[in-house]
Structure 1
Amino acid sequence: MIYMLHVPFVNYATELVLRYGHGVPHLHLLTYLGLPLLVIMVSVATAALLRWAVPGVYATLTGGRGLATS
């Protein structure tokens, strides 16, 4: 899920931060250092939500990996 979600999320999140983050000191550095952690957290949370709510969609998106319970 991280691989699938990271490119669009990085693009949109960077655009939002740079558009609305005026006045924040060292904004580019903070974005460069903080965005990867945010992307991982959102991707893992999205995967968990999909796996719980719609396991069929999750299975399709991941090729059936990560569904075993044992």
Structure 2
Amino acid sequence: MAKKKIDNEIFKTLIKDYNIKDTNDIKDMLKDLLSETIQTMLEAEIEEVSTGNIDLDIPRDRNAEFEPQIIPKK
């Protein structure tokens, strides 16, 4: 993905809105922004999955040839 230059006005607005005075304020702002970004991405992914069709190809054991195997603990 190509990097896009962010308009300085966005930064000025964020600094004003978050009343940034020190590095802890910046850390809190970034935490909020990252949290909102991840939440939005997850919601978009859920919408995409819930509204789309998913084709499943589940193999059938019509001849009863499947033998379960016990997998040892490591």
**Which category describes the TM-score, using the shorter chain as reference length?**
0.3 to 0.5
TM-score (norm 1): 0.41
TM-score (norm 2): 0.40
Give the structure with the larger helix fraction: 1
Structure with greater contact order relative to length (CA < 8 Å, sep ≥ 6): 1
- Structure 1 or 2, whichever has the larger Rg, is 2
